[in-house]
Amino acid sequence: MTVRVGVIGTGMIGQDHIRRMTTVLAGVTVVAVTDVDVDTAKKVAEGLPGATLHPTGEELIADPAVDAVLVCSWGPTHEQYVLASIAAGKPVFCEKPLATTQGACLRIVQAEVAAGRRLVQVGYMRRYDAAYRALKRVVDSGELGAPLMMHCAHRNAAVPSFYEKESAITDTAVHEIDMVRWMFGEEITAARVLIPRRSRNGGPLQDPLLLILEMAGGALVDVEISVNIRYGYDIRGEVVGEDGTAALGELSPVTVRRTGQLMTPVPLDWRERFLAAYDVEIQEWVDSLANAAGAPVGPSAWDGYAAAVVSDAGVVALRTGERVPVALAPKPAFYEAVPS
């Protein structure tokens, strides 16, 4: 079976996902696109023989030729398209964040529960990265003993001019928020933010930040968020257990020794660092739709909601300097029955 996908939002990641669905992955074809930037969408559609250019996301979702929807528009528009996809009974892959408020995420959770089957998957791609998966296998094996801490760094070379102070949490560290819930299989119970000396490269932003997350099992996670580090895109993670430590490996296939130096390249941005993870993520999503159950098994609407609640707590912690407890709504039994 070939899954026929319609893409809403043909910006950076929309185009990247279209490229992988048309040139890398199997069992999937892109049959429709839309974007409020009509010129960009038109150019993208021209490169997709037979694909329909729709004037709105709603019309794309209603198109009978579209089996499943990929939402790659800006965060504040996600809720309307995810809810419309659920109402149409179509599986929807929504790029992170699921929505920009926890209220909106909860409405999506409630709509999916009412629909009675899993339709939503959220684009938290670190769960598909070979290094993170290898680290999780070590943690799950128990060979480190109980995990006590995890040290993370999320460094962007630079960020766009519309990036705001809070984006460090809501747009960037939200990946670690999802990743640690998955890594340790437990919820985050509180957040704190420490503010070091401000980098002269950060412009009006408070950059870097240190986000501290408390896990339900007692482990502490620290996340350095640097969004103007200049030298490249650098993602790190190390778990400290009772009996040992384990860290994400170095990923470069080559190291160069020259002029008295040992050099390994650093990725330029998220597209390069997580290239293979995005491929696996979208392929596994397509495969899950094509199999007998026809339902996604990756990060769920509940995961999207939980990440939004923690991210909101992080924003309050950033603004107040206080430790902010995380209060999740009761988890519907619906999400216990599905792997996430």
Decide: helix, strand or coil at residue 269. Answer: coil
- Separation CA 13–CA 322 (nearest Å): 35
User: Given the rule CB under 6 A, which of 103-111, 170-178, 204-212, 278-286 is the region that contacts ligand ISE?
Assistant: 170-178
CB of 145 to ligand NAD, least distance (A): 32
Q: Which does 10 bind (CB under 5 to 8 A by kind): ligand NAD, ligand ISE, none?
A: ligand NAD
H or E segment and range at residue 153? strand 147-155
Q: How far is the CB of 297 from ligand NAD (least distance, A)?
A: 18
Among 171, 176, 178, 224, binds ligand ISE (CB under 6 A): 171
Tell whether omega for the bond before 208 is within 30 degrees of 0, i.e. cis: yes
- CB of 219: closest distance to ligand NAD in angstroms? 25
Please give the Cα distance from 120 to 95 (Å, whole number): 11
Interaction of residue 268 with ligand NAD, rule CB under 6 A: no
Which of ligand ISE, ligand NAD, none does residue 172 bind to, with CB < 5 to 8 Å depending on kind? ligand ISE
Question: By C-beta, is 62 or 153 nearer to ligand ISE?
Answer: 153
Q: How many residues bind ligand ISE (CB under 6 A)?
A: 6
Q: Select from ligand NAD, ligand ISE, none the partner in contact with residue 199, using the beta carbon and a kind-dependent cut-off of 5 to 8 Å.
A: none
Neighbours of 242 (CB within 10 A): 9
Residue 81 identity: Y
Give backbone dihedrals phi and psi of 94, rounded to 5 degrees, phi first.
-115, 125
Q: What is the DSSP letter of 168?
A: I
Name the β-bridge partners of 94.
71, 122
Contact between 109 and 332 (Cβ < 8 Å)? yes
Q: In angstroms, rounded to a whole number, what is the distance separating the alpha carbons of residues 151 and 149?
A: 7
**175 in contact with ligand ISE (CB under 6 A):** yes
Residue of 67, 79, 95, 207 interacting with ligand NAD (CB under 6 A): 95
Among 128, 184, 233, 270, binds ligand NAD (CB under 6 A): 270
Cis ω before 97 (30° cut-off from 0): yes
- Fill in the per-residue mask, 59 to 78: x = in contact with ligand NAD (CB under 6 A), - = not in contact: -------------xxxx-x-
Q: Which tokens is 46 given? A: 């021209």
> Per rule CB under 6 A, is residue 156 in the interface with ligand ISE?
yes
Angle at 136 between CA 101 and CA 180, to 5 degrees: 25
Among ligand ISE, ligand NAD, none, partner that 22 touches (CB below 5 to 8 angstroms by kind): none
List of residues contacting ligand NAD (CB under 6 A): 8-14, 34-37, 40, 57, 72-75, 77, 95-96, 123, 125, 171, 270
List of residues contacting ligand ISE (CB under 6 A): 96, 156, 171-172, 175, 270
